[in-house]
């Protein structure tokens, strides 16, 4: 009764090669952009979590990067290609790096020099400039002249460094210790305190992780496929 005929001509191989190149280029561009966005979001989230954990500006030492930012091409192999984004600690300070690692991974902290870690008491300054207060920093800052020299004692089996014959704020303000005047008089607004516990010595201490960086990175990794799809849909 009749016949319907369809005749198809296959395009040349070069057409498939071009399609493959264009598709790969689109996927690579999408992957570069997606990993860049994921790394940027991870950095911002880590910084927010560190601020929420009362770690001050320590999060500012966390930075990020990506292959896109470094103008790197995806790494190609027979199985496909790879693109990356990352977060890292940009500070070169051993103290800063150690603090971040302790607060993100947990750590046991032991003294590097001497037998004890010296924790400042509530009456003396907690810091000497930008550094944590230590007995060495106490003397460098001249606090032995402003408050009084440190005297080592043992109380209930605990090592202490005390100051005798000083004073503290009459209002109860913390870290307000001052020495007496040269005439042995109290300064205005101060009350006498015969003994000030300046430092408490401990053998070691532990810090629990306050920010779960691996969990944040897993969350960002799970978002990458969706970010790739978003990038592809923009084209």
Task: Give the pLDDT confidence score for residue 7 in this predicted structure.
Answer: 78
Strand ranges in 176-215 using DSSP code E only, listed in sequence order: 190-202, 205-207
Flag whether the pTM goes above 0.85: no
Which helix (H) or strand (E) covers residue 153, if one does? strand 151-155
Burial 36-59 (b: 16+ CB within 10 A, else e): bbbbbbbbebbbebbeeeebeebb
Say if residues 52 and 59 touch (Cβ distance below 8 Å). Answer: no
Task: Give the pLDDT confidence score for residue 235 in this predicted structure.
Answer: 59
* Nearest by Cα to 147 from 159, 162, 157, 132: 162
Domain ranges of the chain: 13-107+209-233, 111-203
The pLDDT tens digits along the chain (235 residues) read 578 878 778 788 888 888 889 999 999 999 999 999 999 999 999 999 999 999 989 999 999 999 999 999 999 998 899 999 999 999 999 889 988 999 999 888 888 888 999 999 999 999 998 888 999 999 999 999 999 999 999 999 999 999 999 999 999 999 999 999 989 999 999 999 999 999 999 998 888 899 999 999 999 999 999 999 999 998 5
């Amino acid at each position: 009764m009749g016949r319907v005929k369809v005749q198809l001509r296959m395009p040349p191989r070069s057409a498939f090669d071009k399609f493959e190149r264009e598709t790969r280029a689109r996927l690579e561009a999408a992957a570069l952009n997606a990993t860049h966005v994921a790394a940027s979001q991870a950095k911002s989230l880590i910084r927010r979590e560190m601020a929420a954990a009362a770690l001050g500006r320590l999060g500012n030492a966390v930075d990020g990067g990506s292959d896109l930012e470094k103008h790197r091409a995806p790494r190609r192999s027979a199985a496909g290609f790879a693109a990356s984004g990352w977060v890292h600690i940009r500070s070169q300070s051993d103290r800063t790096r150690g603090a971040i690692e302790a607060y993100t991974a947990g750590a046991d902290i032991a003294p590097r020099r001497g037998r004890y870690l010296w924790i400042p008491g509530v009456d003396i300054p907690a810091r000497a400039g930008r550094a944590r207060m230590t007995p060495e920093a106490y003397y460098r800052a001249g606090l032995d002249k402003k408050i009084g020299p440190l005297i080592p004692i043992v109380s209930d089996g605990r090592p202490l460094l005390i100051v005798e014959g000083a004073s503290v704020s009459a209002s109860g303000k913390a870290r307000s210790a001052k020495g007496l005047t040269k005439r042995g008089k109290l300064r205005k607004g101060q009350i006498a305190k015969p003994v000030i516990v300046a430092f408490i010595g401990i053998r070691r201490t532990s810090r629990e992780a306050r920010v779960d960086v691996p969990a944040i990175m897993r969350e960002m990794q799970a978002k990458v496929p969706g970010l790739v799809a978003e990038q592809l849909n923009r084209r």
